[in-house]
Structure 1
Amino acid sequence: MTQPALFIAHGSPTLAIEQNAYTSFLKQLGQETLKPPKAALIFSAHWDDSTQWLTTDRTHLTLHDFYGFPEEMYSIEYPVSGHPELSQEIEAIFHAHNLPYRLSAGRGLDHGAWVVLRSLFPEGNIPAVALSVDSKRSPEEQYAIGKMLSELRQKDVLIIGSGGLVHNLRMLGEEGSEPAPWAVEFDAWISEQLTGWNLRQLFDYDKKAPHVRTAVPSYGKEHFVPLLYAMGAADDDRRAAKLFQGYQYGSLSLNCWMFGGMHQANHE
Structure 2
Amino acid sequence: MTLPSLFVAHGSPMLALEDHEYVRFLQDISQQFRTPKAIVLFSAHWDTPDQSMTVDETHSTMHDFYGFPEEMYKLNYPAAGDLRLNAVIDGIFKQKNLHYVPIEGRGLDHGAWVILQKMYPEANIPVIELSVDSKRSPKEQYDIGSMLAELRKEDVLVIASGGLVHNLRKLNDSPQPDAWAVEFDNWIVEQLEQWDLRTLFEYEHKAPHAEQAVPRYAVEHFIPLFYAMGAADDDRTAKRLFQDYQYGNLSLNCWMFGS
Provide, for residues 221-265 of structure 1, a one-character-per-residue CA deviation record: whole Å limited to 9, x for no partner. 00000000000000000000000000000000000000001xxxx
What percentage of residue pairs aligned between the two structures are identical?
61
Q: Which amino acid aligns with 2:254?
A: C
Q: SS at 1:95's partner residue?
A: helix
Match 1:231 to one of 229, 232, 241:
229
Residue 125 of structure 1 and its aligned partner are, at CA, apart by 1.0
Q: Which amino acid aligns with 2:157?
A: L
Residue 118 of structure 1 and its aligned partner are, at CA, apart by 1.0
Q: SS at 1:124's partner residue?
A: coil
Within-5 A mapping of 1:1-268 = 1-30=1-30, 32-174=31-173, 177-261=175-259
CA distance in 2, matches of 1:171, 1:59: 38
Superposition TM-score, scaled by structure 2 size? 0.99
Provide, for residues 59-115 of structure 1, a one-character-per-residue CA deviation record: whole Å limited to 9, x for no partner. 000000001011100000001000111111111100000000000110000000111
CA distance in 1, matches of 2:81, 2:33: 20
Provide, for residues 180-235 of structure 1, a one-character-per-residue CA deviation record: whole Å limited to 9, x for no partner. 00000000000100011000100111110000000000000000000000000000
Q: SS at 1:158's partner residue?
A: strand
Residue 34 of structure 1 and its aligned partner are, at CA, apart by 2.4
CA distance in 2, matches of 1:219, 1:87: 31
Q: Which amino acid aligns with 2:99?
A: P
CA distance in 1, matches of 2:125, 2:18: 22
Q: Which amino acid aligns with 1:139?
A: P
Residue 119 of structure 1 and its aligned partner are, at CA, apart by 1.1
Structure 2 gap segments, 5+ residues each: none
Q: Which amino acid aligns with 1:13?
A: P
Q: Which amino acid aligns with 1:195?
A: E
Residue 177 of structure 1 and its aligned partner are, at CA, apart by 1.9
CA distance in 2, matches of 1:49, 1:131: 10
Q: Which amino acid aligns with 2:121?
A: P
Q: Quote the residue 1:266 is aligned against.
A: none
The count of corresponding residues between Structure 1 and Structure 2 is 259
Superposition TM-score, scaled by structure 1 size? 0.96
Residue 117 of structure 1 and its aligned partner are, at CA, apart by 1.1
Provide, for residues 129-168 of structure 1, a one-character-per-residue CA deviation record: whole Å limited to 9, x for no partner. 0000000100000000000110000010000000000000
Q: SS at 1:92's partner residue?
A: helix
Q: Which amino acid aligns with 1:58?
A: E
Q: Which amino acid aligns with 1:27?
A: Q
- Which 4+ stretches in 1 moved above 3 angstroms? none
CA distance in 2, matches of 1:139, 1:240: 17
Residue 116 of structure 1 and its aligned partner are, at CA, apart by 1.3
